[in-house]
Amino acid sequence: MAKRFYVTTPIYYVSDVPHLGHAYTTIVADALARYHRLRGDDTRFLTGTDDHGQKIARLAEAASVSPRAFADKFADAYRAAWRALEISNDDFIRTTDPDHEATVQDLWRRMAEKGDIYLGDYEGWYCVPCEQFYTEKELEKGHCPVHKKPVEKVKEQSYYFRLSKYQEPLLAYYAAHPELIQPEVRRNEVMAFVRGGLQDISISRTTFQWGVPVPEAKGHVVYVWLDALTNYYSATRRPALAGFWDDDVEIVHLIGKEISRFHAVYWPAFLMSAGLRLPTTVFCHGWWTVDGEKMSKTLGNVVDPLVLSQDLGVDAFRYFILREVPLGADGDFSHEALLTRYNAELANDLGNLLNRTLGMVHKYGIVPKSNIDPFDLENRVSRYSKHMEELQPSRALEELWTLVRKGNAFIDEKAPWKPDAPRPQILGDVLELCRVLSHLLEPFLPERAVEMRRQLGLDEPAHFPSWQSRTFAPTVATPLFPRIDDDRKKELLAKWTPKREAPPASDEDQITFEQFQKLDLRVGQVLSAEPVPKAKKLLQLTIDIGTAKRQVVAGIAETYRPEELVGKKVIFLANLKPATIRGVRSEGMILAAGDEQVVALSGLDRDAAPGTKVR
Ligand code: MSP
């Protein structure tokens, strides 16, 4: 029975370009939406950006641009990335969209009319990266438990939401709707949190202005999470999603596990207060690490989904992240594993099945007949559907790969190349299998599934397969996923995982304090400077080092003119063994920044007399 299905991703902060983690949620949501369309369900899929809040305001300020210009730039980056990854969202919402802002204010008014909002004074802790208030008890040694960074003290007038009032209604709702929070571990976590007691929460800020104005309350902007969560509902007041907050719609919010409290406690409470229905399911997926480490800019291991998709094809990337971990579990991303799965499962298993089948049809030139029995197709397909309904795309893919492997084994076993083999039957069966697969794979491999149907000569769009065999005219096969050979593999790995910065010095590279003390470093003042004849890069300097005058040759002529240098104070190494450079004696060295070429001379941030020791 066709139904109405509505799936969402979190709306992403416009603080940077999307990475593997953001692409993951969005691709899973996309696969679910495509699956439901395939079934003929009336489907809507929403994603977008979270433009407001203190985090974005500060980043914009640091970049010396307006928050709007800052948000626009990254919202565009998200839009472009989703286009490149074949994401089929029906709308893209931004919290700065005027109609969304109006809905946030509407919701606020409804909650206020219910008597759930009151004015108070807030004093507590705030983590800007989380955009979250913390109680003293929740902090870990004064640090945010998520970011492990110091939190900020907030003391301001603030509106509160009576969350405490919803403790019992929420618990009753969770008990009656076990499907609301998934998977089980998150449901237990959230329920334990609510049972532990709910405090009223602050829902407005006054110390910055980048947000939705609180209705009739000058100076207050709506707390960014109340603003952001409302997006799921406000989008359904637009033409593209109209009516998708109605009671009959299956609404699935797909999120990362770190934001379960906002989605499974605050959001349902806000909705109850406003008299609106709740989502059907909040599904919390796990987190990706990269080669066992947390993904971070500092570590330089952030995975860019666009680079991988360009090099390997969008569908290969989609396939890997959908297949590698069951939805809900944490996963570890490795570029090696990506290539291994590519060769084994895409190039070999699936690619070969289609290739061999079409090759034989072409060679034997026969009109195939099919009875599709040998693969237990009907059964497998209903299991595939069940997994998708249960939000388990990795299991649905496993089901399909069982079929793919059965197809290859069937060809090996039946050996249609033998003169006495019943070719029309055998080829008919595998051809039918390829046809069905070209439909069922569409949610995962939207681009290659179209190519499969093209090669099979099917002019039908993807839909849930019917069992009547259809006539189709296969064309000559070209590899769906060309194999990656060892050379190419090396090349790709070198490109994707560039060498990290040198690790911290090993014991042998370290020097002791005593060794350091052997350096006679002092303040030196340049008394004179002149070019060294026939040496473009060199200057000859006389340096006053307090107790003596020294002559040195320095490779700084391309960065400094002699007259700029006279009078400058620099750091001078006085006990360097003298040397003769281009015929000029050099007795020491001035310290400077730069590797091949000097960028800047060392200096002092306050005055100090020539000869002062530097340590
Ligand atoms: N703006 C809020 C969400 C508001 S929704 C009403 C936000 N944005 S975010 O840009 O930080 O995106 C967080 C989401 O990105 C996570 O919930 C998850 O979907 C995804 N991921 C970010 N890093 C991730 C991993 N390393 N692994 C998997 N997904 C993660 O929070």
C-alpha–C-alpha distance, residues 606 and 594, integer Å = 22
Q: Is the pLDDT of residue 370 over 80?
A: no
Amino acid at 581: I
The two most distant CA atoms of the chain are separated, in Å, by 104
Q: Is the CB of 279 under 6 A from ligand 1?
A: no
Q: Is the pLDDT of residue 502 over 60?
A: no
> Strand pairing partners for 126?
133, 152
Closest CA to 231 of 36, 66, 49: 49
What SS3 class is residue 222? strand
**Paired tokens of 289:** 């690490």
Mean of pLDDT over the chain? 93
Q: Is the CB of 313 under 6 A from ligand 1?
A: no
- What is this structure's pTM? 0.82
Q: Is the CB of 492 under 6 A from ligand 1?
A: no
Q: Is 434 a catalytic residue?
A: no
Looking at 118-213, list the stretches that DSSP marks H as alpha helix, in order from N- to C-terminal side.
167-176, 184-195
Whether 161 and 117 have beta carbons less than 8 Å apart is answered as yes
Residue of 3, 147, 177, 613 with catalytic role: 147
Lay out the sheet containing 288-290: strands in order across: 293-294, 288-290, 331-333
Looking at 460-532, list the stretches that DSSP marks H as alpha helix, in order from N- to C-terminal side.
486-496, 513-517
What SS3 class is residue 336? helix
What was the pLDDT predicted at 296? 87
What was the pLDDT predicted at 467? 62
Sign of the Cα pseudo-torsion (119, 121, 124, 128, in order) = positive
Q: What average pLDDT score do residues 322-351 get?
A: 97
Banded pLDDT at 508 (limits 50, 70, 90): low
C-alpha–C-alpha distance, residues 443 and 190, integer Å = 31
Q: What average pLDDT score do residues 212-240 get?
A: 97
pLDDT of 32-45, one tens digit each?
A: 999 999 999 999 99
**Paired tokens of 112:** 């206020």
Whether 291 and 319 have beta carbons less than 8 Å apart is answered as no
Cis peptide before 183 (omega within 30 of 0): yes
Instruction: Pick the range with the lowest mean pLDDT from 64-68, 455-459, 481-485.
Output: 455-459
C-alpha–C-alpha distance, residues 74 and 323, integer Å = 29
**Residue 264 backbone phi and psi in degrees, to 5:** -105, -10
C-alpha–C-alpha distance, residues 346 and 313, integer Å = 11
If one compares 511 and 21, the residue with the highest pLDDT of the two is 21
**Paired tokens of 30:** 């996309």
Residue nearest to atom 7 of ligand 1 (CA): 12
Tell me, in angstroms, the distance from the centre of ligand 1 to residue 12's CA: 6
**Paired tokens of 548:** 């003596």
Q: Is the CB of 284 under 6 A from ligand 1?
A: no
Banded pLDDT at 473 (limits 50, 70, 90): confident
C-alpha–C-alpha distance, residues 400 and 461, integer Å = 19
Q: Is the CB of 428 under 6 A from ligand 1?
A: no
What was the pLDDT predicted at 450? 94
Q: Is 130 a catalytic residue?
A: yes
Q: What atom in ligand 1 is closest to the CA of residue 294?
A: 26
Of how many residues is the chain composed? 615
Q: Is the pLDDT of residue 307 over 80?
A: yes
Amino acid at 385: S
Closest CA to 388 of 68, 25, 32: 32
- For 63-86, give one letter per residue: b (16+ CB within 10 A) or e: eeeebeebbbebbebbbebbeebb
Residues of the chain with pLDDT > 70, as a percent, come to 97
Whether 4 and 41 have beta carbons less than 8 Å apart is answered as yes
C-alpha–C-alpha distance, residues 77 and 18, integer Å = 8
Domains of the chain: 4-285 (3.40.50.620), 333-499 (1.10.730.10), 513-601 (2.40.50.140)
What SS3 class is residue 31? helix
